Amino acid sequence: MDLVTPAVGQIFWAGTIFIILLFLLKKFAWKPMLTAVNEREESIKASIELAEKTKAEMEAMKAENEDLLKEARVERDKMIREASETSKKLIEEAKTEGKAQQNKIVAEAQRVINSEKAAAIAELKTQVASLSLEIAEKVIKGELASSDKQKALAEQIANDISLN
């Protein structure tokens, strides 16, 4: 029975001690500790957030770098391709030009040759004509040395004419 009977004195002391303890601890212990703990929690949270953000930024930067690298690679490839194309074109152009030049030279040469040939032929012709004339003169001079032969020729010519 004694165990379950509340005692006035103990209630008084328990209440007094507890309330004083509550105020003292609240002022000198709980407040600074809770502030510190919660502030630290906040700062840790903020730090983690910052780290997350930085990580994301790094990730973005890395991706950007990758993009840049890729672009550069593409650019380089393009440049190489263009250069090779240009060189090919240049070679091609040089080739065609050379050919054209060559053709022109050949044509010129042919033309010169032809004209030389024609001139030679013409000269040869005159030569031949004069030569044959000389021969003919010499032949005719021998043929017409007697009057009989002149008469026979005249007759023959006259015959030919009458026939016409």
Q: Measured from the CB atom, is 16 or 84 closer to other proteins? A: 16
Interacting positions 26-65 with other proteins (CB under 8 A): 26, 28-37, 39-40, 42-43
Longest Cα–Cα distance of the chain, Å, equals: 203
Q: Measured from the CB atom, is 6 or 161 closer to other proteins? A: 6
Q: Measured from the CB atom, is 41 or 57 closer to other proteins? A: 41
* Residue 1 interacts with other proteins (CB under 8 A): yes or no: yes
- The residue range among 2-10, 75-83, 113-121, 130-138 that interacts with other proteins, by the rule CB under 8 A, is 2-10
Q: Measured from the CB atom, is 35 or 156 closer to other proteins? A: 35
State both tokens at 38.
């919660």
By the 8 A CB rule, do 149 and 143 touch?
A: yes
Min separation Cβ 51 and other proteins, Å: 17
* Residue 161 interacts with other proteins (CB under 8 A): yes or no: no
Quickly list DSSP for the chain.
-GGGS--HHHHHHHHHHHHHHHHHHIIIIIHHHHHHHHHHHHHHHHHHHHHHHHHHHHHHHHHHHHHHHHHHHHHHHHHHHHHHHHHHHHHHHHHHHHHHHHHHHHHHHHHHHHHHHHHHHHHHHHHHHHHHHHHHHHHHHHHTTSHHHHHHHHHHHHHHHHH-
* Residue 145 interacts with other proteins (CB under 8 A): yes or no: no
* Residue 9 interacts with other proteins (CB under 8 A): yes or no: yes
* Residue 122 interacts with other proteins (CB under 8 A): yes or no: no
- In the complex, which residues of this chain contact other proteins (CB under 8 A)? 1-15, 17-22, 24-26, 28-37, 39-40, 42-43
